[in-house]
Structure formats: structure tokens, C-alpha cells
Structure 1
Amino acid sequence: MSLAWYVNRLRAMSPAELVYRFAEKAKKSLAKGRIEGWGRYRTSGRLPHLAGLADNLAAAPERVKQEIVAASAFILSGRFEALGADWPQRAPESLFPPEIWRLDPVTGGLWPGAEKYCFDISYRHERVLGDVKYVWEFNRLQFLQPLAADAALTGNTAALAAIETAVESWYAANPPFRGICWNSGIELGLRAISLLVVISLCGAQLSAATVDRIRAILHAHMVWMARYPSRFSSANNHLVAEVAGEFLIALAMPELPLSAKLEAKGRRILAEEANKQILNDGVGAEQSPTYGAFTAEFILLCSLVARSAGKPLEGEIDSRLRLFSNYIAWLSNDDGRVPGICDDDEGRVLTLSRHEPAYAASVCAAIAGYLGEPPAGPRPPEVDLRDALFGSAATGAAGLFGLKTFADGGYTVVRDTKRGHSLDIVFDHAPLGYLSIAAHGHADALSVVVTVDGKPLFVDPGTYLYHSGGQWRDWFRGTRAHNTLNIDGADQSIMSGAFNWSHKAAATLEAAVGGQDWSVKAKHDGYQKRFAALHRRMLSSTADGFAIRDELPGTVNQTAEIVFQLAPDCDATVESGIVLIERNGTTIATLSWKEAGAISIEAGGEIGEGGWYSPAFGKKVEAKRISWRGIVPDQGVTCNFALMQA
């Protein structure tokens, strides 16, 4: 790990966090060789059980049950897909060889295993073995969830045998706290939840040896998460995942020494984090809709299990989940798809272990089922395991219409119709991200994301990679990749690591007016110190679309670039200074600027040359990027977006 990473990370910490981190480092070093091995975590007791899950599964609609059986068959065939990658197919009789837990499916490399203490493995900025998220993803054991549901529904003996083989193999290959699987608390929280789902759905059908191994794994996970909690600048979705894991283990295994303490801790922190990480207007504090859904799903699962056990959580959890659902309803198209905003690593809590194109709306359908209320917005056509376990709403609500501002979270959503087309706009005037490092934020202040007729047109570029992304990680979260203005190619906020920022642009909403002649205006200060410029952007309705006016008050004749990143299925050409935007060979819209400037349209190439879009974690594809470069006069630069008649 580089010295620069340490320096930048330390700069983001408060004095109290610095003291805590040094103490934590010492604790991790002292633990080596002292609290390892399965022996100290083997316990006896009743079969662990999360209340409510099995009953809800049995009552699931037939279509959901069919999808569960199909997902189980896929796993039993030796296949696994995640994060844009396919794992090597394994023979059904050899699904879980020892090396599978250390395998990177992209590079083919093997990460360190039981021979190495987990905290001696440096995984950040690794370039040879690959992005650690791939090996962690498989070790979340979420592919066991559809197997367990299938076994519970049909008695599938092959699914039961695969679960037992997987647990035995993982147990042998990953003793506490050895190897890459024990590095991160969020991974332990998710793995614990997977095993709790398994034992709650089909535990009575498993052998005594498998149950004993699961009990030991869960006990060790509880101890590890309680010993090394995410705090201070890392207390984001990681904290919720860890607390959810501890809390659910405590409910399922109340006889463990830490259970009473961690159940009480979980009740307190889940209520607190529901208020912190879901803002007063429903926006997730980390800005990403999918990370918001991830956090909401953890809280939702804990609330469901606690309520089913007759010990419901206290606080404002239900109202916070309801607020989040309302926010996602405004973002969603008719199929429940939401635009990409900030990071998305495709994390899920309950899953059939396959790609979900509308995860946030699926979580909101589950929230509606849990609350016993009509859904706030559309639900996706796809179904998943959470639909069975939460009794999700089977149908969605009609799409919303008009202008809605989420002032706390920092977004204004416009849902309009123009010339026979539906037009949806998301205008970003949000904070960079959550807590001091804003780990999952992008430098995208005042960007616009536009959807026409339910299909993306101007898109957020996506995420691509995390730890191994290098310069690509920087590009995909940098300002030039987003639909906003940049000065001299500089980012509005300054990066100081793959999940850290040394300077954060502050955005401010100045005005928002609804109705037929809607308008919204905001500014950010990210360029003030370096270029003595504010960036102010105003969006306003026109007869056939909308206009964008960009101003740089404080500067005189400053040169700038204004960018629009097209979705991959769209094309663009320039004719007589007007950009023609096409989809499927048909021109659907135009872009034109009142002020003179150089217009370029490029896709792919080296970093910074053209447009790129990441449709899923680990994938990037070429996509046209429209760029206007020119002088921004005192009155600003005005761009008109006009739709063609449908």
C-alpha cells in the first residue's frame, strides 16, 4: 500500500479517529495467533433460526417459486456470474474445490488463503491478482440462498448436498482469521446473513455436522465484527452491514456470550443509522440510489425478523423506509429502472444470485410488502428472493409527474411530456457524498441525467472498477465523464485516493419552480479557489424540451467544456452546428448552443479522449460523448435540448 494512500487517509480523520485507528491497529496485531482457530468458536445449542422467513417463503406466489428453482438449477450446474464476470464452470460433482474461495475469475490468480493472517494481506491497489471485490463476492455465499429456498420448497436433495459441500469446503479453507475472506467487516456481515438464511429455510434438513460448522462460522463472525467495527469516516453502509450481521446472529443464537449485548447494540444503531443514512427527504446519504437500497434492505431485513420474533425495532425505521421508497418512485421509469448516480457495486442482501437491473425498486416493493401498504412507485417485472421473504407488492403504482425537489439529498426530478415523448430529468445539486471521505461520491455537481420514453439518453458513466481501477476509477468518478461543465479538465472535487477526496465541492439549490414553465437553478463552489469561479446552472422548460444555461460568475471570458455522455445505444452527428441525436437510426432530439464553440463527438479511445459507459461493475463499453468547448461570457452559455415530434 502506498505512503500517499496512508497520508491522504489520515488527513480525512479527526483526532478522535486517529487515536481509535492506532489502537485498532495494535489490537489487530496482538490478535494474530491468539484468537484464531475454529476450536474456540464451536458451541452447542438449538438450531439457529430467523423468525418469519420460512413462513413467508411458503406463502410466496408460484411465479417466485419457479424463479427460485431456476436459480438453484443454474448454481447446481456449476455456473456463477457476478460483477460483470463469469466464474469458470465447475462440474456438478465438484462445485466447491478448495481454490475456488481464493480465485479471481478475471485474472485467474489466487489470493492468499489460510497460510496468511488476514490483516497481513494488502489488497488495496492490487494490480496483479485483480480487484478484491471478485473474490469477496463469491465468499459472500449468496449463491446458497436460492439453493436453500429450493430445498425448503421442493426438498431438492442435490441442493442440500451442494449446501453441505460448500459449508464443509469453506470451513476447511478459511479458518478464523486467515486469508482474504476475513479482511472486511461488510463481507462478514453479508456472509453471516447468507448462512442465517440457509439455516432458517432448510436447517432441519441439514446434517448435524453442517449445522455445527455453520454455528461455529457464525460465532466467529460475530466476534470479529464486534471486535473491529466500522467507525468514524468508514461508518457508512459497512457499519449497517456489520450491525445487521451481529444483530441477526444474536436473534438466531441468543445463547452466545455476546448475543444480549449485540442485540441491544443492534437495536440502538439500526435506529440511529436509519435516520442518518436515509435523509429527511428519503435520499440515501451516500447519494447512490443502489447504495441507498442496499442500506435500506439491511434495515428492512432486521426489522422484519425482529417483528416476526415479537420484539420489533423501535424508532422511525418504518417512516424512513417509506421516505426512501417515495424518493425511488420519483427516480424510477415504468419498469422500475433508476438512473445511475455515483458508485454502484451491485451489492445485495437477499438474492437469487443473479444480475438485477432494477434493484432499488425491488427493495421498495419489499418495503411495501413489509409495511402492508400500496407501493409508492413502479415495481420491476423481474422477481427475486426478497419478493418471497418480504411478501413484496405484486404490482406497482403509476409513474409520478411534475417537478419534485429533494432538498436534503440534493436532487430535483422533472417528469414531463414534450412533443409526444415522456421526458425525465434528474438534476444533481447534492453533496459529494457521505462522511469525511465521501467514499462512493462522484464529482458530478450540477450534472443532468435524461431519460426519453423510458430509455436512458444522457447517462451517468457508471462505476467500472474499485480497488484495481487505477486511472479508470478516477475517470468514471471525475467531472469530465459527467453531464456538467468543467474548467481546464479539472475535477470539481479533488481526489486523494480511490475512496477519498481532499476537497469537496459544495452545491446549493437556489430556486425551483414547478408547473408547465418549470425551472430549477443551483450552483457549486468547486472551482472557486483554483479558478475564482462559481458554476451556476439553470434548467428551464421549453416548448419542445428544455434549456440549460451555464454561468461562471467571478470570471471573465473563461474557457470551459460542457459534456453530455450518451447511452451506448444512441448516436450523434453534427450538422451546421446542431447535434443530431439518434436512437435505432431515428433522430429523436437535437442539441444546439447559442454561443460559438467547438463541438466534438467521440467514443472510446484512451482515458479522456472519448466517451465510456459502465453497464455493470467490471464492464466498460464505448459510447458517444458530446463536448462543447468555448468561452463562457458574462451572460453564460445556453444549450437547447429539443425533442422531435413523436
Structure 2
Amino acid sequence: MVRSALKCIGHEDYLAIDSAKAKVILSSKITEIEKELDDPTYVYESTAFHADPQKSATKAVEKGYLSQGIRIRIEPPEEWGLIAKFSRNVRYKIQAWIVLDAPLYAHSQGKGEEFLDPCILHVNDWIDSFIRNGEKEDFAWYDMAVGQRATKLSYALRMMMKNGDSIEDLAAAIVSTHVHLQELMREEKIASHSNHGLFQMVGLLTIGKTLPFLPESAEAVDFSTEKIREMVSLHFSSDFLHKEHSPMYHIFMTNYLSILLDTGMISDIEDLVVTAEGAVEAASWLSQPDGTIIPFGDTPNITTQERANFKLYKENGRVCSPEGLRVFPEGGMIIHSSYDSYGYASNFLAFNGSFHSRQHKHADDFTFQLCSGGNGIITDPGTFTYQYDLPERMYIESTRAHNCLLIDGMNYSRFKSDVFGSSIEQVHEIGDLVMIEAFVKRGRLVDERIPNNQVKTKHGVRVRIDHRRILLYHPGKFLVTIDDVESEEERSYSQCFQLFPEINVMQEEGMSILSKFIDGEYRAIATMIPLTSGLRISEVKGQTDPFLWGWVSSNGHELEEASNVQFSTKGGNELIASVIDMSPEEQAKSKLSVSGDGKYLKYWRKGEVDSIFELRQKGARQL
């Protein structure tokens, strides 16, 4: 292993040297190299946040890292062969050495020398198993895991060199690092289509910059920098929204860029600096009034502050979105946020109209998130562990679980050939009102009983459906949802509205009354009323047969009962419209009028303050 290490650092006569002399030469070279190097910078994880590095490190060393109910510990010797019983996500995190992130970060910040030793023991144990002994495990060389492990291995090796660890351990660590460098430079292994590729390249960049004595280090820096530039351009829209359909992954990727800036890895690359700054601004709009991340795509119910490593927008000391309207025309998201009279975030609407790829994409075109008066009303179901054939995972991804128009009880297509980018056609802010219009030509639907990773071309059911959704929104007053569909064949349509789990539903005289337990009693916070004739109102909660319906997931590995209200009809060309009235105390009357060709629309709401909205082909106005 020592002679192999000499080869890795470019010593030409490594084969002609006996083992004893090889140790002396390697030791001498390491001493010379270390004298010329500055202290290493640890490139910490973009998927974790350590508000108190010392506290996080102590917890990791003493208790481990909790993932999906499994506690990953720093307790070498690790029984690597037994991890196959865990889920994909847990196995990946074990192989990525996620548990070492907090201790290494704390150590790099001067928050505790005692955190380094257990990490080095863990690193050496992995090297003994997978480099020296060639142990096999499916996720040992998983793309993203290799990149994340490389950042920790680079720092660990430098600290081992600085502290004068045994020459045998140093040699093994050098060889292991070189193996990682070679693996990460294999172009066919780079997952350029997803964020995994970015994690791979930051691992390679870290090796190149942290270990400049390796002969391939300069090439690794150039190679990884160019790949990062290419992938960042591919993964972010021109309006700086990450294109993997998940606000949490936008946070992660913004962390990624911010960390590379903070550690000096990309601070001299102007286009990446511009993207990083734009991504931070975009991220400021992704917090709901309660400080949690908008739960679109694979985003759990978690606060933005628990995930962001960059400065967040705050109002009155609380993390929230800025006040006003933010449109991401290419990214495919629209957010409107307004505050109460005390200056606190109160009313919130987020609309999701994007389909850029299959990455973290649920079958959720045109879904939205709605809060009023600080109360969550309509919600995304969240995410579930990445085991795609689990009934719970299949449900969480389904169209019926989202605030969408369910067509023939099937999922919207997520075939690559059906990607449409952004569906947003127009957005108007007129006085107190916001109008959103999006359009998609639907060519295929998919049976929801097939796991998304097993869907083949043959599973696509051919359809020809023009689908236009219009939202009319008056913060704190109402949200009108209009689905205008054209189909040559008769179909079943259901507007689905997934409610927050704390919302109670009562049906009364053609409407659904939504109430919430506040200050010791249930109070009505909204009503849901059909605006077009012939709609059937129904509600499900905690249904298991014949399929799951009326559930959300707050933690990503358990489901929680939550009411889902539907307005349903059958037909070919149909206009399905309903209103969520968020001022039920006004007992307002609503009416919708639409011309036969769909070019003229007028909505009246008569309450304490009347609202009249008119939409013509040439534009919209408030009357």
C-alpha cells in the first residue's frame, strides 16, 4: 500500500524500492508537502445545517445521525455487510459518511479537537473494508455518495498528514483518495441530469484544491469547475429557480453554491457568483408564513431555517417570504405573500406549474399551497421515503394526492417526452386581486398503481386533452379555481383539494365548511363552494381501499389522515369551477359567468366588500 501511495503522488521509482525504504521516502515527502500547504478548508454538507456546530458534533459523536428512524453511528469497526437491510436512502447516507459532517465541520471551525479522532477511526475502518479488502456493497460507489465522501476524505487526509498519523494509515488514505479522484473523473459516471452530478463534482473539486500534491489535481480542478458550470446552467432556470420541482432541493443547491463561495472554491468564477446570488434571492420566497418550506415535490414539513446555510429573509424576526408577488416564468412557480396589520406574514399562495424533468417530480401539474390569516388551508401531501414501490410513496406522488384536476382517476404523465417546462401563460396583479393562468396539452395519462420508476412507454394511455387552469386570488378573501378542459371523449373529472390535517370538514347545503380548533373551540375558517352546476361534492379522509386517499406525510416516513374534498363531474368539454371563501363570517355570495368560447370570464363576490373580476382575451381587470 505504501508503494502504491508513492505512485499516487507521482514518485517514479516506486516499484524498485523495498517496503522499508518506501516508508521512509513517503514519510519524508509528506513532511515536505505539509510544510508548503495552508490549513485545509472543510467543505461542509449543503444538505445539513448546524446552527451550533459544537452541539451538533457532540450529538453526532455520542448519539449518531438519525435517518428514517435508523441511527447511523460513529462506532468502528462498522459491520458494513449488514447495512443491506436498510432503505436505499439510509444506505446511501451511511456510505456518504453524513454522520461525520458535523464533527468535521466543528473541528474545522476550532470548536473541538476531540471530534477529529472518532472521525479518523471511521475513515480508516471504511478504507480497510472497501479499499484494502475490496468489500462489496451496492451503495459504496453510488454517484452522490462518492462525491460527498470525497469532501470528508480530503479533509481527513490533510489532518492525518498534519498530525503525523502512522505511515500505513496515511498511505491507505492517499490511495483511497486517488481512487475517488479517478472514479469522479469518469465522465460516463457523472449524473449530469440531476443534482447528484453537482455533489460528485464538488467532491472532485475539493480533492483537487485540498490535495494539490496529487499529479492529477490541476486537471481535477479544471474538469470539475467546467462540469459545475455546465450543470448549474442546466439545473437552474434563467430566473434562478432550481429545476427539480422541490423547494427543499432549491435550498440544498443554494447551500451548495453558497458553501463553494464561502470556502473559496468558486469565488473567482463570475457566472457562478451571479447564479448563487440569484438563487439566494429566489430562496427567500420559498418560506410559508409559519417558516416552513413550501412542500412541493420531495419536500418534507420542515422549517427553512433548519435547512438553509445562507442568510434568509425575515420580517419581525421571523423567517417568511417577502411581501408581494414573485413570478418565475421559466422556473414555473408563482408566489404571493401578504402580511397582517402587525407586519407578520399571514396570507400565502404558491402555484406550481412546472415539468422540467423526472427529478423529484410528482404528478402534480397546477397544484398550489394556500394559507389565510396564518392558518394553513390547502396543502401538498409532502414526500415519502424513496422506495418507489411502497403504496405510501406511490400515493404521495399521485395526482389525486395533490390539489389538481384528477382525470379518469389516473396520474398526469411524467414521461420525458411530455416535459413542457413552464405552463404559465399569464399572471396579472390588479389591485388586491391576482390572476394566474396556465395551460398544458395532455397527451398521456398513467395508471397510478404503477411505481414511477417502473413506468414504461406501454403504460401511457393516449389522450387528447387541452387543460387550462385559472386561479383568481384575493388574499384573505377567496381563491377561485377554474379548470377548462377540452376532450373528444367523455371523461371523469374531479377537482381535488387536500386540506391540512388539523382542518375539520362539515358538509352543509351544497358546501363544505372548514373549521379549525382555535382557543378551545372549533371555528369556521373557510367554505368551499361549487361555482358551476352539476358538480358533486365529496370528501375522503384516511381511505385505504381501493386506494389510499386523504393522507399527508409530515415526516417523510409516516402518513397522517387529512381530509380531501372533491368537486366532480363527467363530460368531454367541461368547465369545472369552485371557490374557497376565506371570510366565511361575511356569508358572501359568489357567481361565475363564462362565455361559450372561453374568451370572457366574470366573477362576482358580494360580501362586506364586493369583488368583481373580469377577464377578456386582451387582458384582465378589477371592476
Q: Give me the TM-score of the superposition, normalised by structure 2.
A: 0.75
What does 1:397-546 align with in structure 2 at a 5 Å threshold? 399-416=321-338, 422-431=346-355, 433-434=356-357, 438-454=358-374, 456-467=376-387, 469-494=389-414, 503-504=418-419, 508-515=423-430, 516-527=432-443, 530-542=462-474, 544-546=477-479
CA RMSD of aligned residues (A): 3.7
- Aligned counterpart in structure 1 of residue 511 of structure 2, from 578, 586, 592: 578
Contact 1:536 1:550 in 2 (8 A): yes
Aligned pairs for 1:586-625 within 5 A: 586-594=523-531, 595=533, 596-606=535-545, 608-625=547-564
Matched, 1:217 2:176: yes
Query: What percentage of residue pairs aligned between the two structures are identical?
Result: 17
Equivalent position of 2:121 in the other structure: 165
Q: SS state of the match for residue 364, structure 2? A: coil
Q: 1:299 aligns with which of 231, 238, 257?
A: 257
Question: Residue in 2 aligned with 1:636?
Answer: 575
TM-aligned CA distance change 1:327 to 1:317, over 3 Å? same
* Farther off after superposition, 400-409 or 153-162: 153-162
Q: In the alignment, which residue of structure 1 is the partner of 2:185?
A: 226
Gaps in structure 1 of 5+ consecutive residues = 1-36, 57-63, 104-109, 112-128, 347-354, 366-374, 382-394, 496-500
| Equivalent residue in structure 1 for 2:89, among 133, 144, 151 | 133
CA 1:149–1:275: 2 relative to 1, 3 Å: closer
What is residue 378 of structure 1 aligned with on the other side?
314
Superposition pairs of residues 98-117 of structure 1, within 5 angstroms: 98-99=78-79, 101-103=80-82, 110-111=83-84
Larger relative contact order (C-alpha < 8 A, sep ≥ 6)?
1
Equivalent residue number for residue 284 of structure 2? 329
Distance in 2, matches of 1:559 and 1:55, equals 52
- In the other structure, the counterpart of 1:73 is 58
- 1:174-204 deviation digits (Å, cap 9, x = unpaired): 2267323433221100111233455678974
Aligned-residue offset at 1:502: 6.2
Could you tell me how far 1:624 is from its partner in structure 2? 2.2
Question: Contact 1:507–1:524 at 8 Å: present in 2 too?
Answer: no
SS at match of 2:442: coil
Deviation at residue 449 of structure 1 after TM alignment: 1.4
SS of the aligned residue for 1:362 comes to coil
Shift of residue 229 of structure 1?
4.2
Residue 340 of structure 1 aligns with which residue? Answer: 295
CA distance in 2, matches of 1:523, 1:201: 56
Checking the alignment, whether the CA contact within 8 Å between 1:451 and 1:458 is kept in structure 2 is yes
**In the superposition, relative to structure 1, how do residues 66 and 633 fare at CA in structure 2: closer, same or farther (>3 Å)?**
closer
Structure 2 equivalent of residue 126 of structure 1: none
Q: Using the alignment, how far apart are the partners of 1:459 and 1:182 within structure 2? A: 37
SS in 2 for 1:180: coil
Provide Cα deviations, 1:366-407, integer angstroms capped at 9, x if missing partner: xxxxxxxxx5x239x9xxxxxxxxxxxxx7887422322210
Rounded Cα–Cα distance in structure 1 between residues aligned with 2:182 and 2:146 = 11
Paired residue type of 2:273: D
Which structure would you say has the larger Rg?
A: 2
In structure 2, the residue corresponding to 1:518 is in which secondary structure?
strand
Give the number of equivalent residue pairs. 528
Contact 1:457–1:567 (Cα < 8 Å) also in 2:
yes
The structure that is strand-richer by fraction is 2
CA contact (8 A) 1:152 1:201 kept: no
SS of equivalent residue, structure 2 residue 240? coil
Which letter maps to 1:408? E
Alignment partners' CA distance in 2, 1:286 and 1:276:
11
Comparing 241-250 with 574-583, greater Cα deviation is found at 574-583
CA offset digits 1:46-79 (Å, max 9, x no partner): 45978784799xxxxxxx9982222222222233
Q: Structure 1's 157 and 313: CA in aligned 2 closer, same or farther, altered over 3 A?
A: closer
**TM superposition score normalised by structure 1:** 0.72
Which deviates more from structure 2 when the two are superposed, residues 584-593 or residues 453-462? Answer: 453-462
| TM-superposed deviation, 1:517 | 2.1
Q: Determine which of 104, 114, 135 is the counterpart of 1:148.
A: 104
1:276 maps to: 234
Structure 2 distance, partners of 1:447, 1:536, is 13
Structure 2, unmatched stretches of 5+, are 10-25, 445-460, 586-623
- Shifted more, 259-268 versus 521-530: the winner is 521-530
Aligned equivalent of 2:303, options 346, 357, 372 = 357
> Residues 629 and 356 from structure 1, CA distance in 2 versus in 1: closer, same or farther, beyond 3 angstroms?
closer
Q: Is the 8 A contact 1:572 1:601 kept in 2?
A: no
Contact 2:354/2:420 (8 A) holds in 1? no
Shift of 1:428: 1.6
Q: Is the 8 A contact 1:53 1:200 kept in 2?
A: no
Structure 1 contact 131–468 (Cα < 8 Å) conserved:
no
Name the SS for the 1:425 alignment partner.
strand
- Distance (Å, rounded) in 2 between the aligned partners of 1:160 and 1:487: 56
CA distance in 2 between counterparts of 1:417 and 1:239 reads 39
1:228 is displaced (CA, Å) by 5.1
1:634 to partner: Cα distance: 5.2
CA distance in 2, matches of 1:586, 1:223: 62
- Aligned to 2:200, what secondary structure does the other structure show? helix
- How far the C-alpha of 1:41 sits from its partner, in A, is 5.6
